Amino acid sequence: MRIRLYQITENRYSKERFLGYDETKAATGEPNPHHYSETFNGEVDCKTLEEIYKRFNTDRPCVFRSYSLSVSDIVQVLDGEEKGVYFCDSIGFRKLQNFDSDLVEPLKGIRVLAIEPHKKPYEALHPNNLRQWQMSVQGYIEVTYPFDDGTVFISNEEAKLRGLEGNRRINGDIYCGNIIIAAEKGDDFGDLTDEQVAKYKEMFSQDESFTPKEIADSLNMTFYTF
């Protein structure tokens, strides 16, 4: 399921944050898209709105930066049976008929593929700055080029030393912690192509588990990073 998540993040509209639908309508009228910012744009391995709510509260995507999905937030489902725009109410979700998502402040970022341990790869927009990359991998970044196809793999350079969970085996090495795949764009990162997204979704579709010994043994291998 592909979704966009809209939340009230500006201080001047903070009085509207966490209000239920009826309270919002009584105070300001219908939810105003000008008051919202896009905080997530990507895929989630969910089938229902309730599963989306749980994902953004108990097991939030590593690329997500805002507060947990709450009352007054709006979820736009872009495909599937639930397609539509939904207001997170005090109880459940309320479908909105006239919310113009084109008026929401968009999330600025590049097209990446995120791989978290024991989860399927998912496509998302990711802000392209060092601090955001560090937050996604939970520390200093390590950039590697395991495949000669114009992609870069961004991960935590101290993942094994810190005991982060094993994720995927790539060219004989075990990558631990979160992995973000982006395109190489000169000295910077850029958008993945459709072909690159499809390739790596297929390549890393299967979950992998590793013993502590396997991870410890992989520390003795030498790799070159930039």
* pLDDT score, position 221: 55
pLDDT in tens, 137-186: 999 999 999 999 999 999 999 999 999 999 999 999 999 999 999 999 99
pLDDT in tens, 24-59: 999 889 999 999 999 999 999 999 999 999 999 999
Least confident of 8-17, 87-96, 165-174, 207-216: 8-17
**pLDDT at site 225:** 44
Exposure pattern of 132-144 as b/e (b: 16+ CB <10 Å)? ebeebbebeebeb
**Confidence band, pLDDT 50/70/90 cuts, at residue 226:** very low
What pLDDT, on the 0 to 100 scale, is given for residue 80? Answer: 87
Q: Which helix (H) or strand (E) holds 132?
A: helix 130-137
Average pLDDT, the chain: 94
pLDDT at 41: 98
> What is the amino acid identity at position 222?
T
Whether the full predicted model's pTM is greater than 0.85, yes or no, is: yes
Residue 161 carries which DSSP code? T
